[in-house]
Amino acid sequence: MTRDTADTPGNTAGTTDSPGTRPDITSTADTSAGAADAASTAAVSAVPADAAPTPAVSAEAVGTADTADSAGVSAASLGTADAVGASAEAVRCAQLVYAFGDTHAVDGLDLDVREGEVFGLLGPNGAGKTTAIRCITTLLPVPTGTVRVFGHDAARERMAVRRLLGYVPQQLSADSGLTGRENVALFARVFDVPRRERAARVAQALAAVDLADAADRLAGTYSGGMVRRLELAQALVSAPRLLILDEPTIGLDPIARTGVWKHINAVRAATGMTVLVTTHYMDEADQYCDRIGLMHRGRIRALGTPVELRRGLAERQGADTLPTLEDVFRDVAGSGLGDNSGGGFRDVRSTRRTARRVG
């Protein structure tokens, strides 16, 4: 497989569009997308405190009022990123194509994520989820088709897009050699949180994910669940309108997984934030996602609420009982569209690496 040139430093996240630029989220050597994102964070940490350019990450709302209360989050405390014009679509991808050499990772993707919803992008290893997400976050260019985030063109208005979103990459992005507070403060700088507000916003983001007490410990001493919550705080500190989470609960035990979702939902309830999430846990998708897009071989193959998808399969099969979302997944992913079920070496390696580091 040929590595796309966009993955080389300087070709993606735009190291030159400062101020208000994201860190160069591109990798130097590692060819896995997730590692590239993680490497970007590492690269940012090498940037002197106030010289860091500005990306755009944050998180806002979803979930129920009581979960919001339980986490002590309020709209006032976390705020929202610049309110750009209202748009019914948080994300709109039209005929997006992205290829790594001969591999069409994304192959004519049409995807609409409505403002305020939790949208689950599901699909087997290698379906193209992370690649699509990296185009939406502007970490990869948009070679063919269009990507819009709250109406902003990801190809032409990269900085405007970045200012609206928070991103937790598939690969871990927290620096184990920094404290929780320092990690979040780094993102606050990089994502252009005004200097006079930074300390308070960092503290609020840490409190929102229940890490206030552990804020001054090295992240290297955190449990897997705490690390994922720390990454959530990093993504929330800039108060994004769109939070993008690429397998936020991979490798976590069921209690830690619930904890991550509790905090996502609390912030969402408080702020109205839109969430785009990938997960291989069908129970999570069923429980937490308003709508689901099942991706396979670079395109959405099934779309609807979890119940709609399950009912649809029941009708097709003439079944009396409602199939599970896992049944729907198997039906779509095993539908003869591909012969690479289970993903290749790259996909397994990337997934295991994250799971190992979290677990």
Ligand X SMILES: Nc1ncnc2c1ncn2[C@@H]1O[C@H](COP(=O)(O)OP(=O)(O)OP(=O)(O)O)[C@@H](O)[C@H]1O
Which spans of this chain sit near ligand X (rule: CB under 6 A)? 1, 3, 7, 31, 33, 100, 103, 105, 123, 125-131, 170, 343-344, 346-347, 351
For CA atoms 44, 49, 55, 58, give the dihedral sign.
positive
Question: At its nearest, how many Å lie between Mg ion and the CB of residue 59?
Answer: 20
Of 170 and 265, which has the nearer Cβ to Mg ion?
170
- Residue 129 or 201: the one with the smaller Cβ distance to Mg ion is 129
- 3 CB-near residues (< 8 Å, 6+ apart): 31, 100, 101
Output 222 or 288, the one with its CB closest to ligand X: 288
Question: Least CB distance from residue 246 to Mg ion, whole Å?
Answer: 6
334 binds, among Mg ion, ligand X, none (CB under 5 to 8 A by kind): none
Cα distances from 226 to residues 209, 232, 257, 263, in angstroms, run 9, 10, 10, 12
| Residue in this structure with the two tokens 């609960």, named with its chain if needed | 249
Written as one string, the DSSP assignment of 163-188 is: HHEEEE-SS----TTSBHHHHHHHHH
Length of the chain: 359
- By beta-carbon proximity to Mg ion, the closer residue of 1 and 88 is 1
Residue type, 194: P
Nearer to ligand X, 67 or 350 (CB): 350
Q: From ligand X, Mg ion, none, which one binds at residue 128 (CB under 5 to 8 Å depending on kind)?
A: ligand X
Asked if 130 is part of the footprint of Mg ion (rule: CB under 5 A), the reply reads yes
Nearest distance in Å: CB 329, ligand X = 12
- In the list ligand X, Mg ion, none, the entry touching 347 (Cβ below 5 to 8 angstroms by class) is ligand X
130/137 with CB nearer Mg ion: 130
Q: At closest approach, how far in Å is the CB of 9 from ligand X?
A: 14
Minimal distance, residue 281 CB to ligand X, in Å? 12
Count of residues that interact with Mg ion, criterion CB under 5 A: 3
Q: Mark the segment that binds Mg ion (CB under 5 A) among 142-150, 170-178, 202-210, 236-244.
A: 170-178
**How far is CA 235 from its chain centroid?**
9
Q: How far is the CB of 350 from Mg ion (least distance, A)?
A: 7
Number of Cβ within a 10 Å radius of residue 217: 14
Which range in 42-50, 102-110, 145-153, 162-170 contacts Mg ion by CB under 5 A?
162-170
Peptide bond into 19 cis (omega under 30): yes
At 114, list the tokens.
């409505």
Distance between CA 131 and CA 141 in Å, rounded? Answer: 10
3-state secondary structure of 135: helix
Binding to Mg ion by residue 271, rule CB under 5 A?
Answer: no
- Burial bucket for residue 239 (CB in 10 Å: 0-12, 13-18, 19+): buried
- Site mask, Mg ion, residues 14-33, x = CB under 5 A? --------------------
Min CB(113)–ligand X separation in Å: 16
DSSP conformation class of 106: E
Residue 161 phi/psi, 5-degree rounding, is -65, -50
Cα–Cα distances in angstroms (integers) from residue 294 to residues 179, 277, 283, 339, in the given order: 37, 12, 14, 17
Which range binds Mg ion by CB under 5 A, 1-9, 124-132, 217-225, 329-337?
Answer: 124-132
Which partner in ligand X, Mg ion, none is near 125 (CB below 5 to 8 A by kind)?
ligand X
Q: How far is the CB of 130 from Mg ion (least distance, A)?
A: 3
Residue ranges that bind Mg ion, judged by CB under 5 A: 129-130, 170
